[in-house]
């Protein structure tokens, strides 16, 4: 297996900045701008580093990795208060003294994971739950791409309350319950359904396999730079144990990049796109790199995808394509930690089309000017309409085994041309930001609210009485969520229910808005400011309250 390194030390620092950003802004306190804005700046710098030409010599890179490794026991002790983690200093010191750090750290990867077993989170995310249910339906000879069959997923597992914690809400009401991914996404969960165990264990296996893959295919310094931040940022482990499954398709793409055989590359890439659509964003970069072999690669990738998905396409091409295209249709409530964070609270409203244009623009410019594709994709994702941490945190991993280093096709190598194009891109993004803000403020201010009464008991707010008015076009049925300046249980904010009815332009009504469960109450003892966000489709309204 052949590995072509590309600035793994820079990737390590980029991941470190991302980890710090996650620590700053990981509690979903959207209104705490002293944390959200610095975190956004760190995320942007993390992406810029990935495409930069910054050089770090091997000695400094080694000390960076060493510093992170020796911080690992303290970090895990701080978040668990388990003194067992401090014992990890013994194998680390042994590895350092006898120059066995590469082997020791791989063992620690497995050892630390075992300390968090058994996994107490059966699902953790709505998508892994829907995938698990889809596998169950398939075992019982039913088509999981039939939306009517998966629509009862929450009630089937007696987790109706969980939609307010891990659900993906539509802006027009309701939650995503259909299967949004190709069939390998749920086929891979069949063993866990048969064994009646959490699907998170399979994700954990791929988390560990990724470490093994890096161990087998990188030199010692590169591996130490990888493993140090892979361990230090405990979210890589916790996300795997919590139902965030992106490491599975990441593993298949990484493996595809480490093999020489083009046919095998295609098969492995076919497996990755049979699991999720995300790797498709890599395809243009992959094809440019492969040159004359691109047809063979596409053939084997396509055949692999069809072999895995053909049965479900045969059952109903419409249902299959409809589910796969769901993420592109929009209509989902805006959440996240990227550029979108300034729009979520109405701090600087941006109409959804801005995010689509900005992301595509960055990809196109990246294709024309830069060879570090993983940095380009990272920055593109940073401008998505919804930016969760797992949309960003895995892209730097590809720098440790990047096989696209020598791609010069369509590359504008003249520094002057590059600088002009980068400057032009920034100017276009700023212009788009201004245009999609000021020309669409109509949407931000289309729903007006006035608080009539606050319902509070024992230091918790559980309901509001609002006067709600609509000044947009058409008809709406407003929905409500609460954004806070304190840690919030869900990235969605607090999703509340109401007795609202359909409003037309100029209409108004008195609405009772309430928390359906007590875990969605507002704790006014640690919350100073909240924002009531009313929404329907692209229409928004905001009402700020101070306690």
Burial 472-492 (b: 16+ CB within 10 A, else e): beeebebbbbbbbbbebebbb
Distances (CA, A) of 384 to 107, 330, 402: 37, 11, 24
Comparing CA positions, the residue from 360, 354, 346 lying closest to residue 385 is: 354
CA separation for the pair 510, 195 (Å, rounded): 51
DSSP state of 334: P
CB of 520 closer than 8 Å to CB of 483:
no
Rg value, the chain, Cα: 24
Distances (CA, A) of 218 to 67, 82, 280: 20, 32, 25
pTM, two decimals, is 0.94
Comparing CA positions, the residue from 225, 272, 263 lying closest to residue 105 is: 225
pLDDT score recorded for residue 21: 97
Q: What is the pLDDT along the chain (547 residues), one digit of tens a residue?
A: 334 345 899 999 999 999 999 999 989 999 999 999 999 999 999 999 999 888 888 999 999 999 999 999 999 999 999 999 999 999 999 999 999 999 999 999 999 999 999 888 899 999 999 999 999 999 999 999 999 999 999 999 999 999 999 999 999 999 999 999 999 999 999 999 999 999 999 999 999 999 999 999 999 999 999 999 999 999 999 999 999 999 999 999 999 999 999 999 999 999 999 999 999 999 999 888 888 899 999 999 999 999 999 999 999 999 999 999 888 777 999 999 999 999 999 999 999 999 999 999 999 999 888 668 999 999 999 999 999 999 999 999 999 986 565 444 455 556 777 788 889 999 999 999 999 999 999 999 999 999 999 999 999 999 999 999 999 999 999 999 999 999 999 999 999 999 999 999 999 999 999 999 999 999 999 999 999 999 999 999 999 999 8
Helix (H) or strand (E) holding 455: strand 447-457
Six token digits for residue 350? 């941006």
pLDDT score recorded for residue 462: 97
Domains and CATH numbers, the chain: 121-197+245-330 (no CATH), 446-546 (2.60.40)
pLDDT score recorded for residue 372: 85
CB of 374 closer than 8 Å to CB of 463:
no
CB of 384 closer than 8 Å to CB of 340:
yes
CB of 379 closer than 8 Å to CB of 362:
yes
CB of 172 closer than 8 Å to CB of 476:
no
CA separation for the pair 118, 27 (Å, rounded): 25
CA separation for the pair 287, 293 (Å, rounded): 8
pLDDT score recorded for residue 412: 56
Distances (CA, A) of 33 to 20, 39, 95, 383: 16, 9, 42, 19
CA separation for the pair 189, 127 (Å, rounded): 12
Six token digits for residue 547? 């306690």
Comparing CA positions, the residue from 139, 500, 165, 170 lying closest to residue 151 is: 170
Q: What is the DSSP string of 142-185?
A: --TT-HHHHTTHHHHTT-GGGHHHH--BBTTSSB--S--S-THH
Six token digits for residue 338? 């990227």
Tell me if the bond preceding 118 is cis, omega within 30° of 0: yes
CB of 505 closer than 8 Å to CB of 461:
no
pLDDT score recorded for residue 119: 80
Location of structure tokens 């002790």: 77
Comparing CA positions, the residue from 277, 249, 310, 338 lying closest to residue 18 is: 338
CA separation for the pair 178, 407 (Å, rounded): 39
């Amino acid at each position: 297996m052949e590995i072509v390194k590309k600035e793994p030390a820079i990737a390590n620092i980029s991941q470190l900045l991302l980890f710090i950003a996650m620590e700053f802004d990981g509690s979903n306190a959207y209104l705490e701008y002293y944390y959200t804005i610095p975190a956004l700046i760190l995320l942007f710098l993390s992406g810029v580093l990935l495409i930069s030409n910054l050089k770090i010599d091997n000695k400094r890179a080694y000390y960076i990795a060493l510093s992170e490794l020796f911080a690992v026991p303290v970090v895990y002790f701080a978040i668990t208060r388990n003194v067992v983690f401090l014992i990890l200093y013994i194998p680390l010191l042994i590895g350092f003294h006898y120059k066995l750090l590469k082997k020791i750290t791989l063992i620690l990867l497995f050892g630390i994971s075992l300390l968090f077993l058994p996994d107490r989170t059966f699902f953790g995310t709505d998508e892994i739950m829907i995938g698990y249910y889809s596998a169950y339906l398939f075992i019982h000879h039913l088509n999981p791409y039939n939306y009517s069959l998966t629509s009862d997923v929450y009630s089937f597992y007696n987790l109706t309350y969980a939609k307010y914690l891990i659900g993906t809400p539509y802006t027009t009401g309701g939650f995503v319950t259909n299967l949004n991914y190709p069939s390998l996404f749920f086929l891979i969960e069949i063993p866990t359904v048969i064994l009646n165990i959490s699907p998170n264990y399979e994700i954990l296996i791929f988390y560990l396999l990724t470490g093994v893959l890096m161990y087998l295919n990188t030199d010692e310094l590169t591996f130490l730079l990888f493993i140090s931040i892979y361990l230090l940022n405990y979210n890589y482990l916790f996300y795997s144990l919590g139902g965030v499954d992106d490491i599975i398709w990441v593993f298949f793409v990484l493996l595809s990049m480490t093999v020489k055989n083009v046919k095998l590359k295609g098969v492995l890439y076919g497996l990755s796109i049979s699991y999720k659509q995300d790797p498709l964003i890599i395809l243009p970069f992959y094809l440019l790199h492969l040159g004359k072999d691109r047809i063979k690669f596409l053939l084997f990738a396509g055949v692999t995808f069809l072999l895995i998905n053909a049965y479900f396409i045969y059952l109903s091409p419409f249902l299959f394509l409809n589910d796969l295209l769901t993420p592109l249709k929009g209509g989902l409530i805006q959440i996240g930690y990227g550029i979108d964070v300034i729009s979520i609270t109405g701090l600087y409203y941006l109409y959804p089309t801005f995010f689509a244009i900005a992301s595509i623009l960055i990809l196109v410019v990246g294709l024309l000017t830069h060879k570090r594709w993983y940095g380009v994709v990272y920055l593109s994702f940073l401008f998505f309409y919804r930016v969760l941490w797992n949309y960003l945190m895995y892209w730097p991993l590809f720098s440790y085994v990047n096989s696209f280093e020598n791609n010069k096709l369509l590359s504008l190598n003249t520094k002057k041309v590059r600088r002009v194009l980068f400057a032009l891109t920034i100017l276009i993004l700023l212009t788009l930001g201004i245009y999609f803000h000021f020309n669409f403020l109509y949407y931000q201010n289309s729903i007006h609210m006035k608080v009539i009464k606050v319902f509070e008991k024992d230091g918790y707010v559980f309901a509001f009485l609002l006067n709600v008015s609509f000044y947009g076009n058409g008809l709406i049925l407003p929905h409500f969520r609460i954004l806070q300046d304190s840690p919030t249980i869900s990235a969605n904010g607090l999703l509340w229910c109401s007795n609202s009815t359909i409003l037309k332009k100029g209409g108004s009504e008195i609405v009772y808005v309430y928390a359906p469960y007590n875990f969605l109450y507002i704790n006014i003892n640690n919350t100073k400011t909240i924002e009531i966000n009313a929404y329907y489709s692209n229409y928004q309204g905001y009402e700020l309250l101070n306690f």
